[in-house]
Chains A and B, each alone.
Chain A
């Protein structure tokens, strides 16, 4: 078990953060640390816009960083569960990124 970092891009809507945090408790995972703020510089995230054919506006999306200590198999499960949350647009760990239905084998966030 090692500490891993997860990065999420999600809609900045009321209750969205609670869904992510709630998921960890509900599925028995643990959060070591959590950081969230609205995205102001969209440059690093243009590929998401291109991939999903969408356009971000200022104030609409947040970036969330979570550190958690888990094994490989559980990490994969956490990623997939987070990807299922309706308000999450993209999520990655060190090795892979989910852009909703699309899985990439690298950390794009």
Chain B
């Protein structure tokens, strides 16, 4: 059968099992959109801004593990997608972005809506392709999906000149079964000698910590991690990206570590004699000053990416390969040496951690105080959301104080339930990513915990939610200012609040939501909080925007002391340091 370039592209996506394509049409993509019109297997979701398309595809990918797919036009369509591509790149999220391009003969002439998308996106993609002829489209799509979803995952861009999607020129179409890329060969299985060295170190540890990050989720290795923990009973901390990979309510869970990590997690890392890093990359928000990081610890690092190991913190033992395979190998090896496992010797260490937790652990019962004598605490708002959703919801988030409160106080028992921009820290991510999650799991509760700063960065997507009837719950933790910036200004700039307030220019969020056909709820007092949130969850068929006015002076604690601090140096409250 002979078909045209635009149909080859769309049929290739259908062959890859794509259910949703998030996009926005325009001149250079019109042939492709015509092809979308003529099929029924895949649904196009029309967003209101290309950034929203990339975040929605990203949310879909994080929740399902399947690649998110985006279609944008050339020029501004492509550049608007950049923030979302960078977000996916930093968190290693599989995504395929198809950008229209001007006709081949116009490339390089500054044609209307021409941008060098390959050049602009180069530093923030795992790989990119320019389609050179119609006969290669199917092969390129196959390779793009293979690259995006294998090894350390990431976004791939396919730039398609308009003439190569011309419906009048027909070609043979056979979708390839395999992508054979001779110069691409990511490690899969770990090597035996690495595994046995890691097991030796595990058996000898007295003060160990498992530090698991987003790579454990990407690799779908949550079960293997839990099995490992059953075997050895080590304390577990998760990075912001790793939350849910080990149960948030689990017995050995320390909470998140790092910049706003719990006291016990940071103290355990600092005092550990063995750190088992699993799909984590020792980001600067985790290590604080690298030279002062965990001075007594030996480090075992499990990662699929060679370049992540010993980049910041030197690994004593490196286990390369898909984290899932590596953990399986470790678990098998440990089972064969079961009589050498001595859980008893960890008791003093567990006792020490319990003491740290009792001394300065987070208070998870703030929500029980409903007195109107003080303003609503943002932490309590998150705790109520956790209670009312029974801890089972998908939670997306934006960036700032509300994000940290959500990470600290919503306990995630399953992976892929906590969806946030960890690496790039992209404000505006929460709402569109929630759309992607809701489309993937229409029966599940999907919550976006946001702030009045972040939500306004992609608020146009309220219209998309209306069009596709996506009944997500938005909780706007409204402190009337850019809270995290304000916190830094309070702590490091003697309280000089430079450009963090909107004065009286905030919209009436309830009225705004209602104008799109959604439901709005405003909560200003503690005594209204429980009931207001419960009311939002009782509404099943509509998007509910809950605007919660919280204490504008609240800070996120603990907070690592920087610069020059170690993981044991934390602010525990206003003016209170370890």
Real binding pair:
yes
Contact call B127/A77, Cβ cutoff below 8 A: no
B133 to chain A: closest CB distance in Å? 13
A80 contacts the other chain (Cβ, under 8 Å)?
Answer: yes
A39 to chain B: closest CB distance in Å? 14
Q: Give the number of A-B contacts (CB < 8 Å).
A: 45
Task: Give 1 or 0 for each of B123-160: 1 = CB within 8 Å of chain A CB.
Answer: 10011101000000000000000010000000000000
B307 contacts the other chain (Cβ, under 8 Å)?
Answer: yes
B122 contacts the other chain (Cβ, under 8 Å)?
Answer: yes
Knowing A19-B122, A22-B123, the reply to whether A80 touches B184 (Cβ < 8 A) is no
A46 contacts the other chain (Cβ, under 8 Å)?
Answer: no
Closest to B118 in A: A15
Chain B, interface size: which category? 20 to 34
Contact call B186/A76, Cβ cutoff below 8 A: no
Identify which of B126, B147, B306 contacts A83 (C-beta below 8 A).
Answer: B306
B window 77-128: CB within 8 A of A: 118-119, 122-123, 126-128
Report Cα–Cα, A32/B233, bound state, in Å. 51
Give every chain A residue within 8 A of B118 (Cβ-Cβ). 15
Give every chain B residue within 8 A of A88 (Cβ-Cβ). 183
Report Cα–Cα, A11/B185, bound state, in Å. 14
Contact call B186/A101, Cβ cutoff below 8 A: yes
Task: Give 1 or 0 for each of A1-41: 1 = CB within 8 Å of chain B CB.
Answer: 00000000011001100110010001000000000000000
Report Cα–Cα, A84/B119, bound state, in Å. 18
B265 to chain A: closest CB distance in Å? 28
Contact call B183/A11, Cβ cutoff below 8 A: yes
Contact call B182/A18, Cβ cutoff below 8 A: no
Contact call A86/B184, Cβ cutoff below 8 A: yes
Contact call A52/B185, Cβ cutoff below 8 A: yes
Closest to B181 in A: A86
Contact call B305/A84, Cβ cutoff below 8 A: yes
> Which one of A26, A88, A89, A101 has the highest number of Cβ atoms from chain B below 10 Å of its Cβ?
A101
B185 to chain A: closest CB distance in Å? 4
Knowing A80-B307, A81-B307, A84-B307, the reply to whether A15 touches B183 (Cβ < 8 A) is no
Knowing A15-B130, A18-B119, A86-B127, the reply to whether A77 touches B307 (Cβ < 8 A) is yes
Report Cα–Cα, A101/B152, bound state, in Å. 13
Closest to B182 in A: A54
Contact call A101/B187, Cβ cutoff below 8 A: yes
A67 contacts the other chain (Cβ, under 8 Å)?
Answer: no
B344 to chain A: closest CB distance in Å? 40
Closest to B312 in A: A77
Give every chain A residue within 8 A of B126 (Cβ-Cβ). 86
Give every chain A residue within 8 A of B305 (Cβ-Cβ). 84
Report Cα–Cα, A64/B2, bound state, in Å. 41
Identify which of B130, B181, B187, B310 contacts A14 (C-beta below 8 A).
Answer: B130
Give every chain A residue within 8 A of B187 (Cβ-Cβ). 101
Report Cα–Cα, A72/B181, bound state, in Å. 31
Contact call A76/B183, Cβ cutoff below 8 A: no
Report Cα–Cα, A80/B183, bound state, in Å. 14
Contact call B311/A77, Cβ cutoff below 8 A: yes
Knowing A14-B130, A22-B123, the reply to whether A76 touches B182 (Cβ < 8 A) is no
Give every chain A residue within 8 A of B122 (Cβ-Cβ). 15, 18-19, 22
B19 to chain A: closest CB distance in Å? 27
Closest to B188 in A: A101
Residue pairs across A and B with Cβ atoms less than 8 A apart, 8 shown, are A15-B118, A15-B130, A19-B122, A80-B306, A84-B305, A86-B183, A86-B184, A100-B185
Contacts A14-B130, A52-B182 known; 6 new A-B pairs at CB < 8 A: A18-B122, A22-B122, A80-B306, A81-B307, A84-B307, A100-B185
